[in-house]
């Protein structure tokens, strides 16, 4: 397979890094020559210097032999033109683009099959907003990943200091989990573990649980979580993300938005129905206290300034908010923010990259999501009639070390897997796999 | 610096390299020669030391190969491979001293072609074959061979590739390094087969055709005959060899364009045009010198000029004539032609055409800006703008060349060589050409040089083959600092 990526920013970089590991031929186009020179030092890719929307440049990148075009420059217009050229001139089958401007993104005609035919168009702000909403709806999770159009969720749950789960062997816990879920990954000190029966849990471990959306409340009770719903939310930053989040949740929760710029506040007050819009500074302690920050269930910092987001979250946490969510663009800051006690830190670019990777499907793997800086992956696999896995019990199948089946979906039925379960054709399974086990797993799938 | 990992990779390279030793082994069986046991011993030793090294360093952290590691891996690989290559000469008894054996091996792998043998025709065929094979392996590069086989090096592979095959612009034939390396080897083997057939048709024996193809296409210059190509006394063959040498000095990207039938890129390629034009004009110049100062007839003057100019500019080093008998003006032309080299991305040594073109363009720009201080001129190559940092690295390259040449010539002269011999032996080894001037001319050899001089020249060959920066960096204190 051959992929062309336009735009060597963080999204392009992440996707390219992943694709090259998969053995895909990658050509990256960017207009910044220095960036390209740095890129070839780090990645095994070819680079072409030039504008992504220039047919000559695409030709130089041998676009006519490509199977996939990914347009992720900062300019929506360039991305759209590149996709149009890819379709009209080079006949590239699959075109994925980042489109930010809502006027383009929500325009059904423009992106439809007859015209630009971008599949899918990805709006990072909208995706971040969705992710934030999921976190607000499931307040005890520090990460929520959707599968099967939201029917199955993977929840990341951080073990608090006084949890009764600490120290117990997983084998002994399984009955306690009442066959509602199993643990897919344990992330401890930035290392990912695929658990076995004799593993135990420690304070601060991040565990990944595949659960049914309908079971979320029961799972919360099993884990001993008390706060199950979010009622009061304060959002700092009324930009696109803040606006999207507010518009999604204002019917269910009480929302206060703090935004600095008066003009933007005007816009928000015109377009939001129930939210309270406050014109001011999110790090102004007086303002926060005045607006009852102590009563907030969640504080969401989504301004353009990532340092400010982190500081505001720390302040909110000090003032007594239990749940804080921040968006941070610099991936270097992510572990820092975690250390400072902000459990949910979203990186729009990494999110976009992992979303794009979900769509680049390969054979039986329907979608996959990387976690913990690509140390491990969660993948959704559909078993066909020729698969070597079917008509065997899970115990019989020799899964590679560092992989496990988290959940099985058979038609509409959801099965929490046990050793005696038999896989059938057309089953969809969600697997938890360490990066180093992926090659072996792919061999098994063949 | 992850030294353990460096040694791990070098061991791996050694294991893969050791399999090349099977080829002369087969030749020695076919000719039923004594060196059979030598090759067997060397092969087993190389393989086992490689495997031993591999397992002893298995605990190394296998992280990405950084720039430092890459430079060290490549340089060490060449040094170690030349060491094991030299054992064949030593243990088969054709050379008595280790210095001579190492000189011959390094001269082979770096495709230099300078020799310490006074006579080659009485050497066993398998040794002659091995001598030619070392040049064929070194022509494209030992590490490029490894890269074509190992898929897991990833972007670290690019660092290794760049340390062995320096490029001016970050161009790869294929997006992935393994595909690029494979393609290079396919092209290389393709040209090799073509040239073997051409030599056979032109009247060489199969053995001579294979050995000479190995040393032509790699622009190496070892021959199985004492008088080199001059031995065959066939004008037609000489023209065919000229073609072969030209092909060896051509950028392999050009062949890729030809395979893809992308002729517009060929036409646009400045370097190819300059390469051919420069060679043609030098041939014409030298033909005139030989015709009027040396009283040769037109055909012979043209033929021997063509052969010698191509042989020197592509840094092959074959001979048909003793050019020391030529007029001085011809000799000076040849001496300085050594520095030009072929195209970048070819098997040739020397400065390489593209650097010379860019330096000239830079000079033009400087002169022009003296007249028009406000003029904005960007330097372009094949239609693309070349950045200042690349130009800076080219100036650095040329300065390093001068510096190394100066120091090495001093050392050679201190061993008692006359200035011309000292300078020309350094020039011929730095540029991986082969024959020199003075006592080490085309009819002479390098055996009389003092061991200190020989080791200096060995270092020159390596520095030149890896294009200065890779080896010089190891002498740079900051390289070893954390």
Please state whether A275 falls in left (phi above 0), alpha (psi between -120 and 50) or beta: beta
Residues 21-80 of B with CB under 8 A from A: 67
Option in A25, A33, A49 nearest B176 (CB) = A25
Q: What is the pTM of this model?
A: 0.81
In chain B, whose CA is at the least distance from the CA of A3? B175
- Contact of A408 with A415, CB cutoff 8 Å: yes
pLDDT level of residue B200 (50, 70, 90 thresholds):
very high
Domain A352-445 has CATH 3.40.710.10: no
Give the C-alpha separation, A96 to A116, whole Å: 11
Domain A153-223 has CATH 3.40.50.20: no
Inform me whether the C-beta atom of residue B159 falls under 8 Å from chain A C-beta atoms.
Answer: yes
Multiple choice CATH, A232-348, 3.40.50.720, 3.40.50.300, 3.40.50.920, 1.20.1260.10: 3.40.50.720
Do A37 and B176 count as a contact with CB atoms less than 8 A apart?
no
Do B387 and A25 count as a contact with CB atoms less than 8 A apart?
no
For B325, which DSSP code? G
Option in B67, B154, B171 nearest A44 (CB) = B154
Q: How far is B170 from chain A (nearest CA, A)?
A: 7
Give the C-alpha separation, A408 to A422, whole Å: 10
- What is B134-191 written as a DSSP string? HHHHHHH-HHHHHHHH--TTHHHHHHHHHHHS--SS---SSSSHHHHHHHHHHHHHHH
Do B179 and A33 count as a contact with CB atoms less than 8 A apart?
no
Determine the 3-state secondary structure of A350 from DSSP. helix
Residue A43: list chain B partners with CB under 8 A: 155
In chain A, whose CA is at the least distance from the CA of B67? A41
Inform me whether the C-beta atom of residue B477 falls under 8 Å from chain A C-beta atoms.
Answer: no
Cα dihedral B284, B286, B292, B293, rounded to 10, equals: 170
The interface predicted TM-score (ipTM) is 0.71
Residues 28-87 of A with CB under 8 A from B: 33, 36-37, 40-47, 49
**Interface probe with A: pick from B150, B154, B162, B175, most Cβ of A within 10 Å:** B175
- Contact of B109 with B138, CB cutoff 8 Å: yes
User: How deeply is A280 buried, as exposed, middle or buried, from its count of CB atoms within 10 A (0-12, 13-18, 19+)?
Assistant: middle
Q: How far is B137 from chain A (nearest CA, A)?
A: 25
Determine the 3-state secondary structure of B14 from DSSP. helix
In chain B, whose CA is at the least distance from the CA of A35? B170
Task: Tell me which residue has tokens 């390098």.
Answer: B446
Q: Is the peptide bond prior to A310 cis by the omega test (within 30 degrees of 0)?
A: no
CA distances from B367 to A403, B251, B364, B376, B379 (A): 66, 30, 5, 13, 13
Do B175 and A43 count as a contact with CB atoms less than 8 A apart?
no
Do B170 and A2 count as a contact with CB atoms less than 8 A apart?
no
The answer to whether the A153-223 and A352-445 domains have the same CATH topology is yes
In chain B, whose CA is at the least distance from the CA of A50? B384
The per-residue pLDDT of chain A, averaged, comes to 86
**pLDDT one digit per residue (tens) for chain A, 446 residues:** 899 999 998 889 988 988 887 778 999 999 998 888 888 888 888 889 889 889 999 988 888 889 899 999 999 999 999 999 998 898 888 889 999 888 888 888 888 888 888 878 888 889 899 999 998 988 888 888 888 878 888 888 888 888 888 887 887 777 777 777 888 888 888 788 888 878 888 888 888 988 888 888 888 888 888 766 888 999 999 999 999 999 999 898 999 999 999 999 999 999 988 889 999 888 888 888 888 888 888 999 999 888 999 999 999 988 888 889 999 988 788 878 878 888 788 888 888 888 888 777 666 677 778 787 778 888 888 888 888 888 888 888 888 888 888 888 888 888 888 888 888 888 888 989 888 888 788 788 77
Option in B151, B155, B170 nearest A47 (CB) = B170
**B151 pLDDT above the threshold of 70:** no
Residues 260-319 of B with CB under 8 A from A: none
Domain ranges across chain A: 2-122, 153-223, 232-348, 352-445
Closest CA to B350 of B463, B208, B185, B213: B463
Do A36 and B170 count as a contact with CB atoms less than 8 A apart?
yes
Closest CA to B419 of B438, B434, B405: B438
Give the C-alpha separation, A231 to A226, whole Å: 14
Question: Number of Cβ pairs closer than 8 Å across A and B?
Answer: 40
Residue A37: list chain B partners with CB under 8 A: 170
Give the C-alpha separation, A294 to A318, whole Å: 10
Inform me whether the C-beta atom of residue B209 falls under 8 Å from chain A C-beta atoms.
Answer: no
Q: How far is B380 from chain A (nearest CA, A)?
A: 14
> What angle is formed at CA B57 by the lines to CA B56 and CA B61, rounded to 5 degrees?
150
Do A40 and B170 count as a contact with CB atoms less than 8 A apart?
yes
Domain A2-122 has CATH 3.40.50.720: yes
User: How deeply is B135 buried, as exposed, middle or buried, from its count of CB atoms within 10 A (0-12, 13-18, 19+)?
Assistant: buried
Give the C-alpha separation, B140 to B153, whole Å: 19
- Contact of A359 with A367, CB cutoff 8 Å: yes
């Amino acid at each position: 397979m051959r992929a062309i990526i336009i735009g060597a920013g963080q999204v392009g970089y992440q996707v390219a890094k992943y694709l090259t590991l998969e053995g895909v031929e990658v050509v990256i186009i960017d207009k910044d020559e220095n960036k390209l020179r740095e890129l070839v030092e780090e990645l095994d890719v070819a680079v072409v210097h030039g504008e992504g929307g220039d047919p000559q440049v695409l030709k130089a990148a041998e676009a006519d032999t490509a199977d996939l075009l990914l347009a992720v420059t900062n300019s929506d217009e360039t991305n759209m033109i590149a996709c149009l050229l890819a379709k009209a001139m080079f006949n590239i089958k699959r075109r994925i683009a980042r489109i930010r401007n809502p006027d383009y993104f929500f325009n059904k005609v423009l992106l439809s099959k007859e015209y630009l035919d971008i599949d899918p168009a990805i709006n990072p702000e909208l995706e971040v907003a969705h992710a934030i909403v999921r976190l607000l709806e499931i307040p005890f999770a520090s990460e929520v990943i959707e599968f099967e159009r939201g029917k199955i969720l993977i929840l990341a749950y951080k073990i608090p200091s006084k949890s009764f789960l600490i120290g117990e062997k997983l084998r002994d816990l399984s009955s306690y989990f009442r066959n509602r879920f199993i643990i897919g990954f344990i992330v401890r000190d930035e290392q990912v573990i695929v658990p076995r029966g004799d593993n135990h849990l420690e304070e601060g471990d991040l565990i990944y649980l595949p659960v049914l959306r309908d079971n979320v409340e029961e799972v919360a009770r099993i884990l001993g979580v008390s706060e199950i719903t979010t009622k009061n939310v304060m959002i700092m930053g009324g930009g696109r993300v803040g606006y999207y989040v507010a518009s999604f949740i204002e019917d269910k929760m009480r929302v206060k938005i703090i935004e600095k710029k008066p003009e933007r506040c005007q816009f928000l007050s015109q377009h939001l129905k129930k939210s309270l819009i406050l014109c001011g500074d999110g790090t102004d302690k007086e303002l926060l206290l005045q607006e009852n920050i102590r009563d907030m269930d969640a504080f969401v910092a989504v301004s353009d300034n990532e340092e400010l987001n982190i500081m505001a979250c720390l302040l909110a946490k000090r003032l007594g908010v239990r749940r804080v969510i921040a968006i941070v663009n610099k991936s270097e800051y992510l572990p820092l923010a975690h250390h400072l006690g902000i459990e949910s830190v979203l990186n729009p670019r990494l999110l976009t990259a992992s979303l794009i990777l979900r769509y680049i499907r390969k054979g039986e793997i329907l979608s996959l999501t990387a976690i913990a800086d690509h140390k491990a992956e969660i993948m959704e696999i559909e078993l066909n009639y020729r698969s070597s896995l079917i008509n065997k019990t899970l115990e019989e199948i020799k899964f590679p070390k560092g992989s496990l089946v988290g959940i099985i979906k058979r038609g509409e039925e959801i099965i929490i897997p046990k050793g005696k379960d038999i896989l059938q054709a057309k089953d969809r399974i969600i697997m938890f796999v360490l990066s180093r086990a992926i090659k072996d797993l792919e061999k098994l799938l063949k | 610096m992850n030294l353990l990992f460096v040694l791990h990779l070098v061991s791996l390279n050694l294991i893969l390299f050791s399999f090349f030793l099977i080829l002369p082994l087969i030749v020695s069986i076919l000719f039923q020669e004594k060196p059979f046991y030598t090759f067997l011993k060397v092969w087993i030793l190389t393989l086992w030391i490689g495997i031993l090294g591999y397992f002893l360093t298995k605990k190394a952290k296998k992280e990405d190969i950084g720039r430092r590691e890459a430079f060290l891996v490549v340089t060490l690989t060449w040094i170690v491979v030349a060491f094991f290559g030299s054992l064949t000469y030593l243990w088969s008894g054709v050379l008595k001293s280790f210095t001579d054996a190492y000189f011959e091996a390094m001269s082979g792998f770096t495709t230099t072609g300078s020799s310490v043998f006074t006579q080659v025709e009485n050497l066993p065929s398998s040794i002659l074959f091995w001598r030619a094979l070392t040049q064929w392996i070194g022509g494209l590069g030992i590490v490029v061979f490894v890269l074509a086989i190992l898929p897991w090096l990833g972007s670290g592979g690019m660092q290794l590739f760049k340390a062995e095959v320096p490029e001016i612009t970050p161009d790869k034939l294929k997006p992935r390094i393994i595909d690029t390396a494979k393609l290079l080897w396919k092209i290389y083997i393709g040209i090799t087969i073509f040239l073997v057939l051409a030599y056979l048709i032109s009247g060489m024996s199969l053995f001579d055709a294979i050995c000479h193809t190995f040393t032509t296409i790699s622009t190496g210059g070892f021959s199985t005959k004492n008088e080199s190509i001059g031995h065959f006394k066939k004008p037609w063959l000489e023209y065919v060899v000229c073609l072969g040498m030209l092909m060896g000095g051509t950028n392999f990207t050009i062949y890729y364009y030809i395979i893809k039938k992308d002729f517009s890129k060929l036409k646009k390629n400045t370097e190819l045009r300059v390469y051919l034009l420069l060679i043609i004009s030098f041939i014409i110049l030298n033909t005139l010198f030989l015709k009027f100062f040396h009283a040769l007839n037109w055909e012979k003057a043209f033929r021997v000029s063509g052969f010698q100019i191509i042989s020197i500019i592509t840094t092959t080093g074959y001979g048909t004539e003793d050019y020391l008998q030529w007029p001085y003006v011809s000799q000076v032309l040849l001496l300085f032609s050594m520095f030009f080299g072929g195209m970048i991305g070819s098997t040739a040594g020397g400065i390489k055409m593209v650097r010379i073109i860019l330096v000239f363009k830079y000079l033009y720009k400087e002169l022009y800006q003296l007249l028009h201080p406000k003029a904005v001129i960007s330097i372009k190559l094949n239609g693309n703008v070349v950045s200042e940092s690349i130009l800076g690295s080219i100036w650095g390259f040329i300065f390093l060349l001068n510096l190394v040449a100066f120091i090495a010539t001093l050392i050679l002269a201190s061993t008692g060589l006359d200035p011309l011999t000292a300078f020309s032996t350094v020039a011929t080894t730095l540029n991986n050409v082969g024959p020199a001037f003075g006592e080490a001319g085309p009819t002479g050899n390098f055996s009389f040089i003092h061991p200190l001089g020989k080791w200096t020249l060995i270092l020159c060959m390596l520095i030149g083959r890896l294009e200065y920066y890779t080896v010089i960096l190891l002498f740079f204190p900051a390289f070893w600092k954390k």
